Chains A and B, each alone.
Chain A
Amino acid sequence: MRIQTLSPIVALLSVLLIPLVSHAGDIRIGLTEALTGPASQYGVPIQNGFLLARDEINAKGGVNGDKIVLIEEDERGKKEEAINVYKKLIFQDKVLMIFGPTLSNSMFAAGPIANLAKVVAFGTSNTASGITDIGPYIFRSSPMEADVVPVTLRTAIKHLNIHKVGIIYGNDDAFTKSGYDVFRKSLEELHIPVVDTETYAKGDVDFKAQLTKLKAANPDAIICPCLSEEGANILLQSRALGIKQSFIGGNGFNSPKLVEIAKAAAEGTIVGSPWFDGNPSVQNQHFIAAYRKKYGTDPNQFSAQGYDALFIVAEALKKIKLTGQLEQDRQALRDVLPHIQIDGATGKFAFRPAPEHAIKPGGYDANQTPFVYIVKNGKFVLLK
């Protein structure tokens, strides 16, 4: 009896005390994503993408003979936890660099820690503007909305007859709000008036009030910088209310789930995104097949970006000789990373320096051409 009650405690302790077994030739890299809490719906696919890439790289003998070891930590989508995890990875686990965190707000909190410690912080899902202004050690492979949206809009205008639009977006979320800001700016530049703007809050499931109002304003298309979770509900409810117009989505709309859930309601939806599941390139088709085999579900844009990010860093590691002097190695990685180019699951990838702000040098943003595609007969089809 006594032993029984103690056994979970013993199990817990033994888990806590197992030392990290590592070999001399291991390259230790931190990976911190939101694995619990609401943001885990993005964090988990990202982590899955990374683990797949790690297995593939190590199966082929690693980088210059060294295996990549990912030290995974949950940051719960909370700023203080992101800071704590960053400090643990940098000062205690002594990693070479860090991937993550998931949310832009968390990167704003944790990024400065890495930058002060002169360690590369590499975000794969942070799209808010200003992230790379934190400093020269901040990298991201996720193109900013500001790069994706103008392309999406111009392509959409070319194919549809758009003179005025309506917008619906979530105004309590950094991701959807910054998407909205960029759409607004692009629309102004293209001189397209917005006839109605509606907002919703996280956790809303019923959008009919806002959509009824949008319908009455009669726009030519509806812009929805939303996440696919709300997006599917918005599409379904719009069609039920008799809204026939096309929807134009941002980064968050790009998920196989959208079509899977909304089905016919998603027809005609135009999406701009760095990743396209129908992209026939060898790398992408291999990635999709391998992901399905390993996890039994379809990958999304977030997993593709995680997957590619590890290959970007592996490419950089091939070009440097690790000395075992942590500070020196961290700096060497930082210096070679900006010049890396790969052709991955998300297509051709390169970095570009963040626009110079004031006196502070910035980090590196993604330099990638987004795909723009439309839903036709239940499939994403590329729009040129």
Chain B
Amino acid sequence: MDWSSWWATYSTLVLSIGVYGLMALSISLTLSCGLLSLANAAFMGIGAYVSAVSTLQYGLSFPSALLLGTLAPSSVALVIGVPVLRLSGVYLAMATLGFGEVVRVVALNLDITGGPLGLNGIPLFTEWWHVLLSVVAVLLLLQALRHSRIGRAFEAIREDETAARLMGIATHRIKLLAFVLGAAIAGLAGGLNAHYTFTLSPGNFGFENAVDILTMAILGGIQGLLGPLLGGAIITLLPELLRSLQEFRMAANGVILIAVVLFLPHGIWAPRRLARWLKKRSKHADA
């Protein structure tokens, strides 16, 4: 198959890999701060709706629509983050799931979002380089963050929140930052997604998606930044690769999830495991 027909066939898949890579990065940001937040799918939905309404109904340009789609979910995150982030562990997971349901029900009942019919005929604006640029920009940002004081504060909070607070880290503010930034990345991904799939409906950003996104991050591993990207790519490609299993392909998906949790607890891309393994090898070589 030549290049142009390959691209024609798989371009959407490639864009989805990038977009879901962003989503996995977004959830891994909150996870790396020890927050089990499942609101990312809802933030993606807010971003997608806001940017699609901007281009479709207000005729805004794509960049400004994306900007709005990034700002809107992060402002929502800022507002709900203050009270929600007092919760931890499963309580936070449940609260953010509840928030996701609230967002879905709101989208179902508003006129501007088209109710259950959703928005249709969204213009095709997203090009491959928009997605690539977004992924690279987010990667650079997160990389810089990791090596900054804030990144170290994330790690301190994840290891032991009380100790971190005693060390003088403004834990609440740092957690809020992770939450808001995660929402911004999710919103950007949503805006990009809306502009190559032509349509949006409230069901696109529900519980199932929240779980998918979490799975991507866990599967890939959250120790490094490549892990979430890898996880996003695998979960996006899996249904395509398993096509020949037909009605049992979702069963294979379930088995893979269980297997990863049982046998690869740190995900596929685990730099620390790799480093340990390499060290062991070199020790063997020395001896």
Contact = CB atoms under 8 A, between A and B. Distances in A.
A193 interface: no
A171 interface: yes
B117 A80 contact: no
A323 interface: no
Contacts of B241: 16
Interface string B6-35: 001111110010000000000000000000
A92 B198 contact: no
A137 to B, nearest CB: 14
A134 B121 contact: yes
A80 B201 contact: no
Contacts of B239: 76, 81
A108 B120 contact: yes
A134 B121 CA distance: 7
A87 B116 contact: no
Contacts of A35: 246-247
Given A83-B12, A84-B12, A105-B201, A172 B116 contact: yes
Contacts of B12: 80, 83-84, 87
Interface string B110-153: 00000111101100100000000000000000000000000000
Contact of A87 (B11, B121, B198): B11
Given A79-B199, A108-B198, A84 B246 contact: no
Interface stretch (A173-181, A250-258, A310-318, A338-346): A173-181
B232 interface: no
| 8 residue pairs, one from A and one from B, having the closest CB atoms | A108-B199, A91-B8, A91-B9, A15-B244, A108-B120, A177-B116, A109-B199, A92-B9
B54 interface: no
A178 B117 contact: yes
Contacts of B117: 104-105, 128, 174, 177-178
Interface of A: 12, 15-16, 35-37, 73-74, 76, 79-81, 83-84, 87-88, 90-92, 104-105, 108-109, 111-112, 128, 130, 133-134, 171-174, 177-178
A111 B118 CA distance: 16
Nearest to A15: B244
B274 interface: no
Contacts of B201: 79, 105, 174
B202 interface: yes
B210 to A, nearest CB: 15
B243 interface: yes
A87 B10 contact: yes
A83 B239 CA distance: 13
A61 B167 CA distance: 82
Contacts of B9: 87-88, 90-92
Classify the secondary structure of B's interface with A. Answer: helix
A172 B245 CA distance: 31
Interface in B153-207: 197-199, 201-204
Chain A interface mostly helix, strand, loop or mixed?
Answer: helix
B5 interface: yes
10 contacts: A35-B247, A36-B246, A36-B247, A74-B246, A74-B247, A83-B12, A90-B8, A92-B5, A108-B199, A172-B203
Given A74-B247, A87-B9, A171-B115, 11 more contacts: A36-B249, A74-B246, A79-B199, A79-B201, A84-B13, A90-B9, A105-B117, A109-B198, A111-B198, A174-B116, A177-B117
A173 B199 contact: no
Nearest to B107: A172
Contacts of A91: 5, 8-9
A114 B241 CA distance: 23
Contacts of B1: 92
A293 to B, nearest CB: 23
Contacts, number: 87
A104 B201 CA distance: 11
B116 A171 contact: yes
A79 B197 contact: yes
B234 interface: no
A246 to B, nearest CB: 27
B118 A105 contact: yes
A173 B116 contact: yes
Interface in B230-268: 239-241, 243-247, 249-250
Contacts of A133: 121
Contact of B244 (A12, A81, A88, A104): A12
Contact of A36 (B8, B124, B244, B250): B250
Nearest to B239: A81
B93 interface: no
B95 interface: no
Contacts of A15: 244
Contact of A105 (B11, B108, B124, B199): B199
Nearest to B13: A84
Nearest to B115: A177
Contacts of B240: 84
Contacts of A172: 108, 116, 202-203
Nearest to A89: B9
A177 B111 CA distance: 13
A172 B109 CA distance: 9
Contacts of B121: 108, 112, 130, 133-134
A84 B245 CA distance: 17
Contacts of B246: 35-36, 74
B153 to A, nearest CB: 37
A79 B16 CA distance: 12
Contacts of A111: 198
Nearest to A17: B244
Given A36-B247, A172-B116, A87 B8 contact: yes
A26 B50 CA distance: 47
Contacts of B118: 105, 108, 174
Interface string B204-230: 100000000000000000000000000
Contacts of B115: 171, 177
B101 to A, nearest CB: 10
Nearest to A130: B120
Given A35-B247, A74-B246, A112 B124 contact: yes
